[in-house]
Amino acid sequence: MLEIKNLTFAYRGTKDVISDLSLEFKEGGVYGLLGKNGTGKSTLLYLIMGLLKPRMGEVMMDGKNTFERHPDTLSQMFIVPEEYEMPNTTLDKYVEALRPFYPNFDEQVLNDCLEVFEMPTNMNLKDLSMGQKKKVYISLALSIRSKVLLMDEPTNGLDIPAKSQFRKALARGMNDEQIIIISTHQVRDVEMIIDHVTMINDNQVLMNEALDPETPVNLEELFLKKIGAL
């Protein structure tokens, strides 16, 4: 279980981006972290991953503080950032270098996802376009099968067919012991694949609940209403 306890954080010289936030994430859930651009979604993901130091409060993954960066904890977590650079090497070699760190890695999942994305199974990572980089990185993330998988705006930069491929790859690659948190401002891209919604705006949690399977709801409308009403 992933617990966020009374988390407070601000970038240097600015006011609090996150203030006294407490949330819980359980295994088997696909959580949508929805919010407008710039509301601190990325910041929250970085805090979860131990990439930022909380001013107050803590993030605990199965009882261990994530900022302490214990290898055992880190081997169960993975983040797909919004933007990244690929190293100057081939996918094969990169996978060989990463494998020893992630015991749950499954090559079959990698190949399945690359197939869904219509990408070859090996290529030089530096030669990829922005969209292709995303596809490869997402495939890699899914194949690592970490317990916690964080995705920051995964559909940004993907065209409509690729967004569809993303949803397919996620369904193919995820497993029910994972905690998947997807942050996005494009609700429509993910509303069918998430089963929990956490909406944040201006440092407040507007909504944090599981979607009721019996009562379908237009998430995009709900989202716009919630952030418009304030």
Give buried/exposed letters for 5-39 (b at 16+ CB in 10 A, else e): bebbbeeeeeeebbbebebebeeebbbbbbbeeeb
Sign of CA dihedral 163, 38, 207, 152: positive
Does 84 bind other proteins (CB under 8 A)? Our answer is yes
DSSP characters over 107-153: HHHHHHHHHHTT--S--BGGG--HHHHHHHHHHHHHHHT-SEEEEES
Select from 2, 17, 41, 102 the one that contacts other proteins (CB under 8 A). Answer: 102
One character per residue 107-146, x = contact with other proteins (rule: CB under 8 A): ---------x------------------------------
One character per residue 21-40, x = contact with other proteins (rule: CB under 8 A): -------x-x----------
Which residues 194-213 are close enough to bind other proteins by CB under 8 A? 194-195, 213
Does 11 bind other proteins (CB under 8 A)? Our answer is yes
Q: Is 48 helix (H, G, I), strand (E, B) or coil?
A: helix
- Only segment of 19-27, 77-85, 154-162, 200-208 that touches other proteins (CB under 8 A): 77-85
Q: How far apart are CA 209 and CA 193, in angstroms?
A: 15
Which residues 142-181 are close enough to bind other proteins by CB under 8 A? 164, 167-169, 171-172, 174, 176
- Only segment of 16-24, 55-63, 187-195, 200-208 that touches other proteins (CB under 8 A): 187-195
Does 192 bind other proteins (CB under 8 A)? Our answer is yes
User: What are 16's two structure tokens?
Assistant: 């609090």
| CB 154, min distance to other proteins, A | 14
Phi (first) and psi of residue 9, to 5 degrees: -155, 145
Per-residue three-class SS string for 10-37: CCCCCCCCEEEEEEEECCCCEEEEECCC
Q: Which of 61, 47, 84 is nearest to 179 (CA)?
A: 61
Select from 26, 36, 55, 69 the one that contacts other proteins (CB under 8 A). Answer: 69
With tokens 């972290």, the residue in question is 33
Residues that bind other proteins (CB under 8 A): 11-12, 28, 30, 46, 49-53, 69-72, 74-75, 77-79, 81, 83-85, 87-89, 93-94, 96-98, 100-102, 116, 164, 167-169, 171-172, 174, 176, 192-195, 213-218
